[in-house]
Amino acid sequence: MSSNRYKVLVIEDEPKIRSFVKTVLETNDYKMIPADTYAMGTTMFMSHTPDIVILDLGLPDADGIDFISFVRKTSAVPIIVLSARTGEQDKVSALDMGANDYITKPFGTAELLARIRAALRNSRFGKLPEAALIGKFVLHDMTIDYDKRTVYIKGVDANLTQTEYNIISLLSEHTGKVLTYTSIIKAVWGYPDTGSTKKLQVNMANIRKKLGIKPGDNKYIINELGVGYRMCDQNE
Ligand code: CA
């Protein structure tokens, strides 16, 4: 049993948060590897090869973003960032640098465990190359048929435009991961310009309408305000 436990590297300089996370992880059968600085985090990362990393962005000896770029040179291990409530720009930078998800402080036990489970589940499949987007993706009442490039709600064609389809198939390819506005714009249009965030929001409003999502509802797609969009995980 013990050798099969997921190893979670937690890089956080606040002792209170570290001990809270340790309690949550260990009572749920994860093995926690603690680190309180960037330097110790990189050492522990190389010696323990964790299954997932939980990373505070404000570390005493470096920016947490530096740790993400260090890891991403060699590894696709899921990284969940811990960020302050006002740190929208930090979250965006971390996600664009390759973090998988973020949790806003203060956070509770259920949220922490749900995010870890989602990140581990989705990372097992890895990132599929675009050519591998074949077959069907099903989430609740929605089916994306990658071969027909068509989205159905309860079996009825939702009549998405090509751009709307491109956005939703991109989100489905990264289910459970927040994609920032910039990363979606780059993937769909190839380049960002002054009007592109607005263009994305207009497309997203049309997608939500066509999928029958009521205003303020988080069905299928979650709007992470000021950061980006995320397709729901199957269990949400
Ligand atoms: Ca800190």
Residue 229: the pLDDT is 94
CA distance 9 to 110: 19
User: Token digits for 164?
Assistant: 């709307």
User: What protein residues have CB closer than 5 angstroms to ion ligand 1?
Assistant: 13, 56, 58
Place of tokens 């299928």: 220
Q: Which long-range contacts (CB under 8 A, 24 or more apart) does 89-94 make?
A: 90/57, 90/65, 91/178, 91/224, 91/227, 92/180, 92/181, 92/182, 92/226, 92/227, 92/228, 93/65, 94/57, 94/64, 94/65, 94/68
Which three-class secondary structure state does DSSP give residue 5? coil
Ligand 1 centre from 12 Cα, in Å? Answer: 6
| Tens of pLDDT, residues 120-174 | 877 654 444 444 567 899 999 999 999 899 999 999 999 999 999 999 999 998 8
Q: Are strands 156-157 and 142-145 parallel, antiparallel or unpaired?
A: unpaired
Residue 128: the pLDDT is 45
Ligand 1 centre from 28 Cα, in Å? Answer: 24
Residue 124: the pLDDT is 53
Q: Residue by residue, what is the 3-state secondary structure of 48-115?
A: HCCCEEEEECECCCCEHHHHHHHHHCCCCCCEEEEECCCCHHHHHHHHHHCCCEEEECCCCHHHHHHH
Residue 4: the pLDDT is 62
CA distance 213 to 183: 23
Ligand 1 centre from 143 Cα, in Å? Answer: 42
Residue 86: the pLDDT is 74
Ligand 1 centre from 35 Cα, in Å? Answer: 12
Q: Could you say which residues of the chain have pLDDT below 70?
A: 1-4, 123-133, 236
Residue 123: the pLDDT is 66
Ligand 1 centre from 90 Cα, in Å? Answer: 13
Which three-class secondary structure state does DSSP give residue 121? helix
Give the ranges where 83-227 is alpha helix by DSSP (H). Answer: 88-97, 109-124, 162-173, 181-189, 196-210
Residue 76: the pLDDT is 86
Residue 15: the pLDDT is 96
